Structure 1
Amino acid sequence: MKVNEFARQLGIVSSKVRYYDRMGLIQGERQDNNYRNFTPQDALNIYHAQMLRSFDMSIQESLNAKNEELDQIDEWVGAHAESLEEQIRWQEIKLLRLKEMQACFQMIKEGRERVAQFSRDNSYNVWNFGFGAVRTPGVQKAVEILSENMPFSYIAIKIGLQSVLEDRRPLDVSIGLGILERNKKKLDLKLPAEVERKEGGEILQYMLEVSDPFQLTCQDLRPLLEECQRRGKPIGQDLIGRIYLSYMKNGVFVHGIGLAGEI
C-alpha cells in the first residue's frame, strides 16, 4: 500500500510515517510500483514508539529499547516516574502561590477590610536594593538562589522602623527577595547565614497600591498604623511585606503590596 493509505490506517499523518521510516523504525519493503509492503509489525512498532514518546522517550530511545532487557526498560520508567513526581511537586507549589496571590488580589479589588489579621509563616528575606541594602558574598548568593527559584520565592519589601517613628518623607524602603520557610523546605534550599529570618505569628496585613514604593510616607500607611495603635500594639519593628504584582490602575502603573505589622 502507499504511505498515505498506511498512515490513514494508523490514524497519523503521512509525514510521521516517512519520519519513522527514515529513523529505521519500520521496514516496509519497496515494490516496483512505488507501493510499500507495510506489515502489522510495522504498525505495532509505530504504535509502541508513540506510546513511549508520550512519556517523553525519544524515537532513538524507543529504537534502542527494542534491544534492551526488561530491567533496563524498568530502570528508564522508574527514573522518568521520579522526574514526573518532582515536576508535579513543583507545580503544586506554583498552584498554592497562585491561589495565595489571587486571595490578595481579591482583597485589593474589594477595597474592604484592607487591614486584616493573619497568621504568618516563618520566612527568609534578603535586602539588596534601597535603604539598608546589604551587599556581601553571602547575600549575593542568597539573591541568586531565590531569583532562580521564583515563583516559589517572592519580591520582599521592608520599611525601616526608625523612619516610621520619625515620620520621614519618604520612608526608608528596601526591596529584595524572600521565601516562606515551608517552600524553602520543600525545595530543600540551603540559604547563607546572612539571610534575615522572620518569625511567624499573628500580624495585621495592609494591602495598598502605590506607583513608587520608594516614595512611601506614613500617610500611605495610616490605616495600618492607626489599627495597630487602636489595638494597643504600636509599630515596634520594621514593616515587612511582599510586592505581589504590578499592573495598571486608572491609567497608572502601580504595585500591589501587602505590609505586615506585628500584633
Structure 2
Amino acid sequence: MRIGELAAQAGTTRDTIRFYERIGLVAGRRLPNGYRDFPPETVAWLHYVRTAQTLGFSLAEIARHGEELSEAPDAAQALSALLEEKIRVIDARMAELAVLRADLRERVGSGCPLRAAGLEG
C-alpha cells in the first residue's frame, strides 16, 4: 500500500509516516518507481502507536515494546505486563509530584519562598 493510502487508513499524515520510517518504527520497501510500499498490517500497527502514545508511552518505548510484543508467545499477557509497569511508573511519579506540591504549598506566603524549607535566616 502506498504512503497516501496508509496515511488515510491510519488517520495520520504522510510526514508522520516518513518520520516513523526514519526512526525505524515502520518499514516500507521502495518500488522500482521510487514510491514507498507498506504491508497492510502497518495500518493496525499505526493505530497501536497512536493509542500507546495517548497512554503515555514514548516512541522509543513503543519501538522497544513492539519488538517484545511481536516475539511474545502471548501478546495480550505481555501487553498487560507493559501496562502494569507503566501504571507503577505513573504511581511513582504521582508520589513525587505530591511531595513537590506539598513543598510548594508550604512556601506560598512565606517571607522568602525560595529559601530551603526549615532554614531560618
Q: TM-score, normalised by structure 2?
A: 0.65
User: In the TM superposition, what is the alpha-carbon distance from 1:38 to its structure 2 partner?
Assistant: 1.7
Q: Of Structure 1 and Structure 2, which has the larger fraction of its residues in helix?
A: 2
Aligned positions of 1:32-71 closer than 5 A:
32-68=32-68, 70=78
8 A contact 1:7–1:17 mirrored in 2 = yes
Aligned residue for 1:78?
87
| Letter of the 1:82 counterpart | D
Q: Secondary structure at the match of 1:67?
A: helix
User: In the TM superposition, what is the alpha-carbon distance from 1:18 to its structure 2 partner?
Assistant: 0.4
User: How many Å separate the matches in 2 of 1:56 and 1:62?
Assistant: 10
1:206-231 Cα deviation digits (max 9, x unpaired): xxxxxxxxxxxxxxxxxxxxxxxxxx
1:22-59 Cα deviation digits (max 9, x unpaired): 12222222211233332232112222122111233221
User: In the TM superposition, what is the alpha-carbon distance from 1:19 to its structure 2 partner?
Assistant: 0.9
Matched, 1:11 2:20: no
Matched, 1:150 2:121: no
Aligned residue for 2:75?
none
**Whose Rg is larger?**
1
Size of the alignment, in residue pairs?
A: 108
Aligned pair in 2 of structure 1 residues 28, 6: CA closer, same or farther (>3 Å)?
same
| Letter of the 2:108 counterpart | Y
Alignment RMSD? 3.3
Q: Of Structure 1 and Structure 2, which has the larger fraction of its residues in strand?
A: 1
Q: Name stretches of at least 5 consecutive residues in structure 1 with no aligned partner.
A: 95-145, 157-174, 178-190, 196-263
User: How many Å separate the matches in 1 of 2:90 and 2:35?
Assistant: 41
Aligned positions of 1:29-178 closer than 5 A:
29-68=29-68, 70=78, 73-83=82-92, 85-86=94-95, 90=98, 149-151=103-105, 153-156=107-110, 175-177=111-113
8 A contact 1:53–1:59 mirrored in 2 = yes
Give the fraction of aligned pairs with identical amino acids, expressed as a percent: 20
Q: Name stretches of at least 5 consecutive residues in structure 2 with no aligned partner.
A: 73-77
Q: Secondary structure at the match of 1:32?
A: coil
| Letter of the 1:25 counterpart | L
